[in-house]
A = this chain, B = another copy of it.
Amino acid sequence: MRMVKLKDIAKELNLSVSTISRVVNNKDRVDPKTREKVLEMLKNYDYKPNEVARSLRLRDVKTIGIVIPDITNSFYASVIKGAQAVCRTNEYSMIVCNSDEDGELEEGALELLLQKQVSGLILSSVGNSFKLVQRLQGNGVPAVYIDNMPPPMHTCDSVSINNVAAAYKITNVLIEKGYKKIGIITGPIHQSTGSERLSGFKQAMANAGLELAEEWVAEGNFKIDSGLSHMRRILKMPVRPEAMVIANNYMAYGAITALREAGLKIPKDMAVVAFDAIDETGLLVPRITAINQPSYEIGRISAEIIIKKLTGSTNKKVYENIILEPELYLGSSI
């Protein structure tokens, strides 16, 4: 059994396709009596318009593409969930692509989305796909960067937190507690999240007049293993830091594991602060003090920006750079 189409309904009622279409789309210029008849028949056959044909004709697929590094990271999952909620109420759907933290795969995903003619794009970039994004934008596709910002940020929309300020803030929490020997495991330096969090950390240290020990500054890759290995390495040093800032949740898991391996207690032997909701179970002891990004909101606002640009009369060339306020969660890890 094939799907019933306008033509079938038209034939059944001896009407033209265009009339049926006008009924479906609730346009005027159709006799109330005819409309009645058509509506009944549509219901009989349970007619559902073919969105592919519709998209082609209207040149709009009503679909937002999202490319993120890892969907199993609850931060990104939550971003997606937020964007979804907005999409649903606006009858948009979402094509979700995992880049697996791989720049090539990210570009592949973007090309796919380009070909699929997505109406809008949400992107957390791990590579340098900026040119592709510009092409999308050139075709009238609004693009919102989240998490990692592209080099020339002012030519894109974005929704993020102020990573420099956030890192500054959480480092200061340590400093105010009296910690002086502080290290950091940050993210890849070529990603804005990595470099900005490092930068905020350094500013806080400098501002407090604290010496920054370069051997306690490690560049991780935002994955568990890198938190584990960097912390293991640091723990072997003749002089250890008293506290560590860890630039994301996964690396924190690894770092904490390294501390436990070494039989060290948090915060007695070393204090730990981090980024992202470390523990969605709420069961981890001690609770880790962390900068908590409003992930759901990031997704929600991103989708709203896109839909506003698509449906509203706002100028597409005017870009919004939304900075959200992260939440500081105070645990007992310091």
Contacts and interface: CB of A to CB of B under 8 A. Distances in A.
Given A84-B71, A84-B97, A98-B84, A115 B50 contact: yes
A90 to B, nearest CB: 12
Contacts of A284: 281, 283-284
Nearest to A60: B52
A154 interface: no
A256 interface: yes
Contacts of A260: 283
Interface stretch (A21-29, A73-81, A122-130): A73-81
Contact of A111 (B1, B48, B138): B48
B116 A51 contact: yes
A115 B77 contact: no
A235 interface: no
A229 interface: no
Given A78-B72, A81-B72, A253-B281, A93 B117 contact: no
Contact of A52 (B77, B116, B256): B116
A61 interface: yes
Contacts of A96: 80, 84, 94-96
B2 A139 contact: yes
By CB atoms of chain B within 10 A, which of A53, A95, A281 has the most? A281
Contacts of A139: 1-3
Interface in A217-273: 253, 256-257, 260
A88 interface: yes
A253 B139 CA distance: 47
A303 to B, nearest CB: 13
Interface in A55-74: 55-56, 61, 63, 70-72, 74
A176 to B, nearest CB: 26
Contacts of A256: 281, 283
A52 B55 contact: yes
A105 interface: yes
A307 interface: no
A151 interface: no
A50 B116 CA distance: 7
Nearest to A76: B77
15 contacts: A48-B111, A51-B115, A53-B56, A71-B71, A71-B80, A71-B81, A71-B84, A72-B78, A74-B77, A80-B96, A85-B98, A94-B97, A95-B96, A257-B282, A260-B283
Interface of A: 1-3, 48-53, 55-56, 61, 63, 70-72, 74, 77-78, 80-81, 84-85, 88, 91, 93-98, 105, 108, 111-117, 138-139, 253, 256-257, 260, 278-279, 281-285
Given A48-B111, A257-B282, A279-B283, 15 more contacts: A1-B138, A50-B115, A52-B55, A52-B117, A53-B56, A63-B95, A72-B81, A80-B96, A84-B98, A85-B98, A94-B95, A95-B96, A253-B283, A278-B281, A281-B281
List of 9 A-B pairs having minimum Cβ-Cβ separation, nearest first: A96-B96, A51-B115, A72-B77, A253-B281, A51-B116, A52-B56, A77-B77, A84-B98, A1-B138
